[in-house]
Amino acid sequence: MIGTAWRRLVRFLSSAVLATSLLAIVGAWSMLGSLVPQGAASATAVKTWALANPILEVLVGALGLHQAFASPLFLACIALLGLSTALCAWQRTKVAIGKARTLRQAVLSDRASLTQSHDLEIVCDAAITGPEALNIASETFAHLGIKTKHRDDVVMAVSPAWTVWGSPVFHWALLALILVLMGGNLFRSQGLMGVAVGQTKPDVPSSPTGTSARDLCTTWAASSGRSASTRSSRTT
């Protein structure tokens, strides 16, 4: 019972329907978020937009669209999309591993192994010799657009091993992009830092918090004093 429920859950989470629905929701949410100013409620742009659109502001504020890309709904959809993509990527990776193993076995196949184990057998006319049968098979494959190789009385048409990895690589790359987007939204920081005229601040994490209002006022006063002294000397 538990195993069946778990398989159904995994099948639902890795389904194309869920992934497509989440992509549509994320796309629509992002489009709506780009139409309204982003920031805290105290931000000037948000206040201005709210005063100009009081009716829409009720809906926008309730949905949290002013902080669309950091809202719980958006992050939940992104997280669920990441989980769905991870499960789908893992399933496709297992399929690709199986196909790659089959391709390696096909490349190493010879006449003896194919005679012992094969999926399909076509009986040829007894009057046709072995080389003639191989030529007919090669011409038939060529007519279908399939390139063949001859090796030890065997006609081979095996795809390159890298062709089975396209879908897994795409899904893992998409998962990496989702993780980067989530990390950027979760660990980003924004705000204002006061810097007086003539002052420089090092680009270190402790720099903004290490500046006090008194330091800024002292630097500002010193800068103003230098400007006043310069004007006085020019006047003199």
Report the candidate in 73, 69, 72, 67 with the shortest Cα–Cα distance to residue 38: 67
* Cα 8 to Cα 4: distance, rounded to the nearest angstrom: 6
* Cα 139 to Cα 106: distance, rounded to the nearest angstrom: 20
**pLDDT at site 85:** 93
Chain length of the chain: 236
Instruction: Characterize the bridge pairing of strands 155-156 and 149-150.
Output: antiparallel
Q: How far is CA 7 from the centre of its chain?
A: 25
Residue written as tokens 């980003």?
188
**Confidence band, pLDDT 50/70/90 cuts, at residue 235:** very low
- Mind listing the pLDDT tens digit for each residue in 13-57? 989 899 999 999 999 999 999 999 988 888 888 899 999 999 999
* Highest mean pLDDT out of 4-18, 126-140, 173-187: 4-18
**pLDDT at site 236:** 43
80 in Cβ contact with 9 (< 8 Å)? no
Tell me the domain boundaries of the chain. 2-35+71-187, 196-236
* Cα 40 to Cα 127: distance, rounded to the nearest angstrom: 86
Mean pLDDT, residues 182-192: 69
- Mind listing the pLDDT tens digit for each residue in 189-233? 666 666 667 777 666 665 554 444 445 444 444 444 444 343 444
- Mind listing the pLDDT tens digit for each residue in 119-151? 777 777 777 887 788 888 888 888 888 888 877
Name which residue leads in pLDDT, 170 or 235.
170
Q: Is the pLDDT of residue 74 over 50?
A: yes
Residue written as tokens 């009986």?
123
**pLDDT at site 69:** 86
* Cα 87 to Cα 174: distance, rounded to the nearest angstrom: 12
- Mind listing the pLDDT tens digit for each residue in 77-127? 999 999 999 999 999 999 999 998 888 888 777 777 777 777 777 777 777
**pLDDT at site 205:** 61
